[in-house]
Amino acid sequence: MMKNVRLTAAAENLAVLAPNKGSTASEPQFSRFQAPDSGNFSAPVGREESEEETIHSADVIVKLKLFPSSECRLTSRVLRQLGMLYTTLVSFWSGDDWIPGGLSEPLFNAKGTSGAPSVMKAQILAGGRALTISRPDEAFENASNMLGYSLVTKQTPPDGLPVNKLYIYKSVDIAQEFYVAITFDRARYKPVLLMSDDGGVNIESNVNQLQRFWFNLSTGITPEIAAYIEAQFGFSDDDMGMVTHILRQLVKLFREKDATLLELNPFVRTTEGSLICIDAKFNFDDSAKFRQPELVSLVEHSAEEKDEYEASQLGLSYIRLDGNIGVIVNGAGLAMATNDLVTLYGGNCANFLDIGGGATKETLSKAFSILQGDSRTKALFINIYGGEY
């Protein structure tokens, strides 16, 4: 079995790379790279935009399960609408870039990805996935270590998430990092703009330094709020014009797209004086999907999420868990109590599956078919409450 390995010291935010499940003792060690099963990868996405519309990225993570190719297209369009500068994508990689025995170094270099300095990002729905490339020879080595393997960070499940796509971006010289976010303040029942002049990875340890600016969705960022931001953060008049425009466009996006979080981190001032978005995270309200057909059309589902998607199409609530006991229950409250009971007596549930209050033979049959397709399930526990009155 291949051992977990740690990347180079440059990967400060990157935790552990672990082999994908299914690896055997006969497979090569991590120093030699075995191409993963092509079935693990989605179809490659080419660079579909014109040269004038080259795919750019703030590397948006969208909670509507928008996967990297869709994210990148969404990001480039949204950030253009915001009138914002952003880091430029150098190269895109998917599972189809593998050849028997590993990644092709000539192909890798031919795509112009060996330059440095640059930033390499595994395209998974979690943070802590960026790796700085300071020397040209590091690019191919680290790409081989990432693509086709599972990445474990503080935000992933214990087994990590498979890295099937990889982006490489041009790095920028940063003079100062800012944190900018719009979300809801549930205590005050109104949206709030969060800002800090100590953005990037430091923001999690400096939450108390966040400045909060509450606003009304109908009026957005007023001149009074903009003036206070300028005074707090010392933006020049020229910079403040751009900052105000971006903030107002973010408010518009927040309102029109039913967002729950729009986060730019870091939003930086370069050594040349430009304001650039390096990274971003956009969350949208799942309950508002019926109003956002454009966002829903971008949804792509990983192999691990296909059961959840299938169940939702059938009107069932299904969540994949880590155990081996399949559970079918009617009613969310009863389902949670059942899962707790199984755990209390030493079991480990493979799923949360609520077929709803109106259980019928048809819904039960659908639930059975989903669980039968899960090779981890060794037993079924069915707890259906019903009767006549």
Max CA-CA distance within the chain? 76
**What is the full DSSP assignment across 204-234?**
GG-GGG-EEEE--TTT-S-HHHHHHHHHHHT
| 8 A C-beta contact, residue 276 and residue 313 | no
| One-letter amino acid for residue 333 of the chain | G
Q: Which of 86, 149, 167, 179 is catalytic?
A: 179
Q: Would you give the DSSP letter of residue 35?
A: P
Q: Is 272 exposed, middle or buried (0-12, 13-18, 19+ CB in 10 A)?
A: exposed
The yes-or-no answer on residue 138 being catalytic is no
Q: Is 153 exposed, middle or buried (0-12, 13-18, 19+ CB in 10 A)?
A: middle
Q: Which of 138, 177, 263, 308 is catalytic?
A: 263
Q: Which two tokens stand for residue 149?
A: 């393997």
Q: Which two tokens stand for residue 364?
A: 């039960």
The yes-or-no answer on residue 318 being catalytic is no
CA distance 240 to 226: 8
> Could you write out the three-class secondary structure of 165-201?
EEEEEECCCEEEEEEEEEEEECCCCEEEEEEECCCHH
Element of type H or E holding 129 = none
Residues with catalytic roles: 179, 263
